[in-house]
Amino acid sequence: MTGTDSKRRAAVLGSPIAHSLSPVLHRAAYAELRLSDWSYDRFDVDEEALPAFFGKLGPEWAGLSLTMPLKRAVIPLLDEITETAASVEAVNTVVCTRDGRRVGDNTDIPGMVAALRERGIEQVDSAAILGAGATASSALAALARICTGEVVAYVRSEARAAEMRQWGERLDVEVRTEDWAQAAEALRAPLVVATTPAGATDALAAAVPERPATLFDVLYDPWPTDLAARWSAYGGAVVSGLDLLVHQAVLQVEQMTGRSPAPLDAMRRAGEHALAAR
């Protein structure tokens, strides 16, 4: 390919979107892979504006990354979604194929598994999840691949508890729910996945046991969270939201560009520098 035919576009969509690190990560990958004709942008797009945005996608588009609130809203606009995306009814990756098809996938789930594997966590016999939102369902899907026993979800309402039990049945994971008031008990699990918004777990920091196992905290800004800082201070292993973001972006880059492996280390460095500059 030469000239304009070789120019390829990708972007992250969501609302709000200004905070997204995706452009930093994807552009770092393009630089490392010497894909000089590739560009990656960000667009503030809400659910209402999404169909019109899709209607304007031309043949130069290679793919899209999607964040909230678009992960479910995009599904009716796609030609196909993968089994992984269907399992949690959430798409964070759209690949635009050369023949004009739009295929949705979810790289958050294998991204979580890869981030844990990088820290030596291949399998656990039980786990705890703090929270019950969209990220918690992805965490449950990831745990379906590595947890051989019970997952206990700590939630704030019976409605959320019922949702998590339903996701457990759907994903074939043994899920028990407990009230958020008991969340300190979660910290003794072999693997704790915190999926809550900033500040929600701060009060739990004082309850970190003297010999904690592994914490996966999906936040990355601000970092470290109070919980992650105390966990590290006590010698526990911590996987961060940046680890997740980088690993899921690696999979996106590979799918959109067809180049593998994507440059994990360069992408992580770029993310770290961007966060340090904030």
Q: List the domain boundaries for the chain.
A: 6-104+244-275, 107-238
Q: Tell me the average pLDDT of the chain.
A: 96
User: Which pLDDT does position 134 carry in this prediction?
Assistant: 85
- CATH topology for the 107-238 domain: Rossmann fold (3.40.50)
Asked if the domains 6-104+244-275 and 107-238 are classified in one and the same CATH topology, the answer is yes
71 is catalytic: yes
Options 8, 9, 71, 247, the catalytic residue: 71
pLDDT at 3 over 80: no
Torsion from C-alpha of 176, 178, 180, 184, nearest 10 degrees: -90
Residue 4 has pLDDT above 80, yes or no: no
pLDDT tier, 178 (very low <50, low <70, confident <90, very high otherwise): very high
Q: Whole-angstrom Cα distance, residue 95 to residue 21?
A: 19
Q: Can you give the pLDDT at residue 79?
A: 98
Give the pLDDT score at 2: 37
- Which of these ranges, 3-12, 124-133, 184-193, 256-265, has the smallest mean pLDDT? 3-12
Band (pLDDT 50/70/90 cuts) for residue 256 is very high
Backbone angles phi, psi at 197, to 5 degrees: -65, 165
Report d(CA 256, CA 236) in Å as an integer: 36
Q: Which CATH class is domain 6-104+244-275?
A: alpha beta
Please state, in angstroms and rounded to a whole number, the distance separating the CA atoms of residues 221 and 84: 27
CB 155 within 8 A of CB 182: no
In this predicted model, what pLDDT tens digit does every residue of 104-152 receive, in sequence order? 999 999 999 999 999 999 999 999 999 998 899 999 999 999 999 999 9
Instruction: Tell me what pLDDT residue 188 has.
Output: 98
| pLDDT, position 76 | 98
Q: Is residue 254 very low, low, confident or very high in pLDDT (cuts 50, 70, 90)?
A: very high
Q: How far apart are the first and last CA of the chain?
A: 39
Give the residues across from 63 on adjacent strands. 10, 95
Q: Where are the alpha helices (DSSP H) in 19-100?
A: 22-32, 50-55, 83-88
* 3-class DSSP state of 117: helix
What's the pLDDT at 5?
A: 55
User: What's the mean pLDDT in 34-54?
Assistant: 98
